[in-house]
Amino acid sequence: MEMVKTEYFSNAEGGRLYRPDLAETVSLRAENLACARGVRVIFSDLGFALGAGEVLHVTGANGAGKTSLLRMICGLLAPAAGHVAISGVHDGRDIAPHCHYLGHADALKPTLTPRETIDYDTALFAPAMAANTDDLLTYAGLRRQADQRVATLSAGQKRRLTLTRLVGIPRPIWLMDEPYTALDNAGRKLVDTLVRAHADAGGLAIIAAHEEVGVANRQLVLGA
C-alpha cells in the first residue's frame, strides 16, 4: 500500500505559501475590562496593550473567562465595565470587521462542501477579493475531500477547514479559542506556522489555550 504523505498548508501541489497581505496593522488596548455572569464577577480590572506583531497567550482555569475575553474584544459580548480599543476604533461593533474569531463552535455548515464553504467565506467576508479556493484547499490538506459534504469530514479536518478562513481573508486581529483542539501534531504545527506568519506580517493574535503556546511572546493568566 502506498503511504500518503500529507502536507498541510504547504506548497506541495504548487500552491503558494501563506503570505498574509494585511492592508492595515493595528494595535489593541483593553482597559479596566470586567466580565460578569449574572451577579458573579468572572474577572475585573483587566487591562493590556498589544502592538502589531505580538501574540498573546491567554490561559487560566476552566471558567476563568478566556472565551468571554476573546468575545469581548471583537464585540460579541458587551463588557460589564471598561472598554476595548484598536488604533482609532473604539466601538465594539466597529472592531468586529477587523477580527477573525475562531470559536469552539466551528461555524461550518454540514451540508456544504469544503469548496463551497471557502467560496462563500471569501464572497461574504471579502467580496472584493478573488477566491483562491484551490490553493486554500491544498493548504488545508482537503484537496481530495473538496467536493464531499463537510458532515463527512473528521473533527481535525473540519478544524483545518475553519483555518482557511483566517488564511484566505486578511484581517489584522486573530482571536483563537482553543485552536489546537482535535488537531494532530502536523495540524498543531500548522496553527503555529500560520500565527507566526501572521505576526511577522504585522498582525496580532490572542490565543486562549490550556497548553503551552510556542509562538506566543506575551502571556496573560486569568484568575491568578
Q: Which is nearer to other proteins, 1 or 105 (by Cβ)?
A: 105
* Grid coordinates given for 13: 501541489
Nearer to other proteins, 57 or 158 (CB): 158
**Least spacing, CB of residue 108 vs other proteins, in Å:** 7
Task: Report the nearest approach of other proteins to the CB of residue 177 (Å).
Answer: 10
Closer to other proteins at the Cβ: 4 or 105? 105
Pairing of strands 28-37, 81-86: antiparallel
Judged by beta carbon, residue 99 or residue 191, the one nearer other proteins is 99
Which residues are at the interface with other proteins (CB under 8 A)?
71, 74-77, 96-97, 99-101, 103-109, 111-112, 116, 120, 123-128
Query: Which lies closer to other proteins via its Cβ, residue 131 or residue 186?
Result: 131
Cβ 103 to other proteins, closest distance in Å?
5
CB nearer to other proteins: give 15 or 82: 82
Instruction: Please give the radius of gyration of the chain, using alpha carbons only, rounded to the nearest integer.
Output: 18
Shortest Å, Cβ 76 to other proteins:
5
Output the smallest distance, CB 22 to other proteins, in A: 15
Shortest Cβ distance from residue 77 to other proteins (Å)?
6
